[in-house]
């Protein structure tokens, strides 16, 4: 069971629904009350677009082990559900536990961008880039903030694209 949640993240990223479904079924039969099992099941529900169920299982995982990266993943679920306030709360908890989690910093940027607050979004995108400077997705997100009507800083946006 060890590190199977990491394997489920790979299956999720590859959108391997059948393999993730099989893995989720196996962990339910093996030990459905382990935090890793709950994360695997959450990833399955996320891939199926059932974000409420995914959140439910991430919460269950956090009750079993409050230091998991599940806070970040739950934040992603809330973003998908357009619940920016809950997403921000989850991401803040994630960075309290792991201040180097670029995904949580990026998620905070996304949430503030969704709320039309590009100054805040830029702050959080910069934090994520500090921890993962070679990820083009992070630079593109920051460039898009610079291009908003509120900022309209095109020279800064161009720098992000280079």
Q: Which two tokens stand for residue 6?
A: 């990491």
Q: Whole-model pTM above 0.95?
A: no
Mean pLDDT score, 44-63 = 93
Whether the CA torsion 27, 33, 35, 38 is positive or negative: it is: positive
Confidence of residue 1 (pLDDT cuts 50, 70, 90): low
Q: Which residue's entry shows tokens 């920051």?
A: 142
What is the distance of C-alpha 131 from the center of its chain? Answer: 15
CA distance 10 to 155: 37
Phi/psi for 75 (5° steps) reads -60, -40
CA distance 34 to 140: 37
Q: What is the pLDDT of residues 88-138, one digit of tens each?
A: 999 999 999 999 999 999 999 999 999 999 999 999 999 999 999 999 999
Residue 67: its pLDDT value, please? Answer: 66
* From 45-59, 65-79, 84-98, 108-122, the region with the lowest mean pLDDT: 65-79
pLDDT(68) > 80: no
């Amino acid at each position: 069971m060890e590190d199977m949640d990491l394997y489920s993240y790979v299956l999720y990223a590859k959108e391997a629904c059948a393999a993730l479904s099989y893995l989720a079924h196996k962990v339910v039969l093996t030990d459905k009350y382990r935090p890793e099992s709950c994360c695997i099941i959450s990833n399955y529900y996320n891939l199926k677009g059932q974000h409420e169920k995914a959140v439910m299982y991430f919460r269950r995982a956090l009750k079993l082990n409050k230091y998991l990266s599940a806070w970040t993943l739950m934040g992603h679920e809330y973003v998908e559900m357009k619940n920016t306030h809950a997403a921000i709360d989850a991401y803040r908890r994630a960075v309290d536990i792991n201040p180097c989690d670029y995904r949580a910093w990026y998620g905070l940027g996304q949430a503030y961008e969704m709320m039309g607050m590009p100054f805040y979004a830029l702050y959080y995108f910069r934090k994520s880039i500090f921890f993962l400077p070679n990820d083009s997705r992070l630079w593109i997100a920051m460039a898009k903030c610079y291009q908003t009507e509120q900022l309209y800083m095109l020279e800064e946006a161009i720098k992000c694209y280079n």
